[in-house]
A and B are shown apart, each in its own frame.
Chain A
Amino acid sequence: MGAMTDITERPGALDLLKAPVTVLVGHFGAGKTEIAINLAVAFKRRGEVVALADLDLVKPYFRSRLARHELGALGVGVVVPEGDMVYADLPILVPQVKGLIARAGDGAGRLVIDVGGDDLGARVLGAIAGLTDPSHTDVLFVVNGRRPFAETLDEVATMLREVEVAARLRITGLVANTHLMEETSPAVVREGLDLARQLAGLTGIPLRFCAVLARVAALPELDDARAICPILPLERRIVPPFAVKVRLPVPLKGAAVV
C-alpha cells in the first residue's frame, strides 16, 4: 500500500471494535448501510475474514446488497436473499446468518450486520439468538441529527430505547454520523458530535467513533473533533446512477484518521 494514507494502517475506529460481530441500528436513513459497507471493506483491508449480512427488511432501494458483487470481488462475503428475492421488498431473513453469528470470531472471522431503520427495522434482531453477549457482539446506534425525527436529543434518545426494546438487545456504542451528503461541512459534523455526546451523557453508552465523508474528514477544521473521538472516513458506495461512482478497490486516499 506504500505511502498511501489508509485507515487500515492507523489505530482508530476499527480498533475499538473488539467483538467479532458488529450490528448497526438506528433511525431510518441514519447511514447504517454506508457505515456497514465501509467497515466491512476496512476490516477486509486489514486482512481479516469478513462477511456482511444485509438484514434490511424495511427499505426497498439503496440497500447494502447492491454492493454485493463489488464486495464479493474484494473477498467480503455478502449474505442476502437468494435469486430474484434479492430484489424483493419482502421480510426475508436469510438462515445462514444464524450460523455466521455462532461461528464469528471462532475462526470464521468478522460479521457486520446491516439492519433496517427505526424500531421496525430492528425488530428482526429480536428473532435472532446469539447477539446478547457484548464481548461477542457490538450493537452500534448510528445518529444523524439532520434526519427527520432525529433532530433533538429527546427524539434520538426515544428511538434508542425503542430500538433496544424491538431488538431485545442492549446498545453498546454510539456512532455520530450527522451529515448532509456532499454539502456536509465541518460545522455540521461538530453539531452531530455534540448531539452524540449529549446522547452518551444521557444514556451512559459510549461514543465509539464519528463517521465522516473522507473528503471532509481530511479537513484541518476537524482537528478538534479528532481529539474527541476517532473518525471513520467514509466513501459513499451506494449512490444513485447519475453520481460518479467510487469503485471499491480504490484506496481511501488522503483521509486522515486518528
Chain B
Amino acid sequence: MAKKLMKGCEAIGEAAIHAGCRLFFGYPITPQNEIPEYMSARLPQVGGVFLQAESEVAASNMLYGAAGAGCRVFTSSSSPGISLMAEAISYIAGAELPVVIVNIMRGGPGLGGILPSQSDYFQATKGGGHGDYRVLVLAPSTVQEAADLTQDAFDLADHYRNPVMVVGDGLIGQMMEPVEFKRSISPEELPAKPWATTGCSDRKPNIINSLFLNPEELEAHNWHLHRKYQDMAREIRWESWKLEEPVDVLIVAYGTVARICKTAIDTLRARGVKVGLFRPISLFPYPSEQLSQAVEKAGKVLVTELSTGQMLEDVQAIVAGRKPVSFYGRVGGMVMSPEEIEREVDKLVAS
C-alpha cells in the first residue's frame, strides 16, 4: 500500500481498522478529536459502527459490553476523559476483557490545557482506577510507531484478555508523518473467543463479571490477575540509541520527548560529548532489566519528561543509588527544545 501522510490520530484510527476493529465509542476532547472524527468517516465505509456517547463514562461502558460480546473495540480520549473512564477500565480489567484505549495526553490537572503533556504516566502505569489491576501501556514516538503499536495493542489485548493503553503526548496525535500499513486482518479472520457472551443455545452460558462476594474466590481471582500481569513481562519493548559504547550521560525519555533528545544527542556528539538514549516503549511492563544494564555503562543518568517527574520515580528505583539521577521536566503544555536538553547534559558533564 502506498504511503500516506497522516496525523498521529488518523494513523491510530486507520491502524484499528487494519487490526479488524469495527467499533468505536467515544466522546470528543482536544487534542485527540481527529481520532473520533476519522472513525466517524471511515467506519461506515467498512461496515463498522461509530457512536458518539453522551460522556466518557458511557463510552467506556459500551467498550465493556462490546468486548464481552467478543468484538474488537476501542476508544480514545485525552487526560480528563481518561479519568472519567477509570471506573470502567477497572471493571474491564476485573472482568478480563480485551479493549484498546488511546490517551493523547494534555496538560493537567483538572481541565488543564490542550497542549502536549506526559503527566498521565502514573495514571496509565500504576492503575488510575481502583483495585489491584494493571493495563499494558505502549508509548510511540513516531506516527508510524503509533500505527504499529495500535495494531499490536489489539493482539495483546486479546491475548491477555486485558485493557491495553496506547499513550501519546499531544504532539504524537497532531503531527503529520508518512505512514504505511504493513498488515491487515478482517474481523472474520480473527481467532474465535470461546469465553465471549455470544448466545448460548448449544453450550453452557458464559458469564462476564467483576463481582466476587466470596472472599476466597476474590483472593484467587486477584492472584490469577497478578500472575497475568507478571506474564506480560514478555511484552517488554525498548530502544537503545547510541549506547554501544559507555556514555558519560544516559538520557531516559519516552514518546516525542525521546525524539527531542535524539536531536540534542546528535548535536552533543558532534561536539564530542558521550551521550546516549534509553527509550522505554512499553511503560508497563517497564524495561527495568534493560535499563539497569544500560545504567551500568553510564556515568550519570538524566530523566526528562513532560511532567514534574513521574517516570523519574521508576528510574530512581531501578538505578537504586548506583549512579546520580537528575531530572529535567517541562509542564503545562510547554515542550523542551533540543537546546534545553543540550544545556542540561553540558551541566552534568561539567559538574
Contact = CB atoms under 8 A, between A and B. Distances in A.
B142 to A, nearest CB: 10
Contacts of A59: 174
Nearest to A242: B259
A241 to B, nearest CB: 5
Contact of A181 (B177, B263, B333): B177
A149 B125 CA distance: 36
Interface in B35-83: 38, 41
A180 interface: yes
A37 B262 CA distance: 28
Interface in A59-114: 59-62, 87-89
B114 A87 contact: yes
Contact of A148 (B2, B38, B170, B263): B38
A89 B256 contact: no
B3 to A, nearest CB: 6
Given A148-B38, A181-B5, A242-B262, A62 B178 contact: no
A146 interface: yes
Contacts of B337: 241
Contacts of B174: 59-62
B263 A244 contact: yes
Given A29-B176, A146-B5, A147-B4, A241 B260 contact: yes
B5 A241 contact: no
B178 A180 contact: yes
B338 interface: yes
Contacts of B3: 146, 180, 183
A147 B5 CA distance: 5
A243 B3 CA distance: 21
A179 B4 CA distance: 9
Contact of B336 (A60, A61, A241, A244): A241
B7 interface: yes
B114 A146 contact: no
B325 interface: no
Nearest to B3: A180
Question: Which of B4, B115, B337 has most chain A Cβ within 10 Å?
Answer: B4
A137 interface: no
Contact of A183 (B175, B178, B259, B333): B178
A37 B1 CA distance: 32
B171 A89 contact: no
Interface in A113-144: 144
A253 B3 CA distance: 29
Contacts of B5: 29, 144, 146-147, 179-181
Interface residues of A, number: 23
A62 B4 CA distance: 19
A126 B4 CA distance: 31
B222 interface: no
Nearest to B38: A148
A151 B38 CA distance: 15
A240 interface: yes
B31 interface: yes
A180 B2 CA distance: 11
A89 B30 contact: yes
Contacts of A29: 5, 7, 176
B95 interface: no
A144 B3 CA distance: 13
Contact of A60 (B6, B30, B262, B263): B30
Contacts of A148: 4, 6, 10, 14, 38
B32 to A, nearest CB: 10
Contacts of A179: 5
Interface in B334-349: 335-338
B113 interface: yes
A35 B114 CA distance: 25
Interface of A: 29, 59-62, 87-89, 144, 146-149, 151, 179-181, 183, 240-244
Interface of B: 2-7, 10, 14, 30-31, 33, 38, 41, 113-115, 170-171, 174-178, 256, 259-260, 262-263, 333, 335-338
24 contacts: A60-B30, A60-B31, A60-B33, A61-B31, A61-B175, A62-B174, A62-B175, A89-B30, A146-B4, A146-B5, A146-B178, A148-B6, A148-B14, A148-B38, A149-B41, A151-B4, A179-B5, A181-B176, A183-B178, A240-B259, A241-B171, A241-B256, A241-B336, A242-B262
The 5 residue pairs across chains A and B that have the minimum distance between CB atoms: A61-B174, A242-B259, A180-B178, A242-B260, A146-B5
Given A87-B114, A148-B38, 10 more contacts: A29-B5, A59-B174, A61-B170, A87-B333, A148-B4, A179-B5, A240-B175, A240-B259, A241-B260, A242-B262
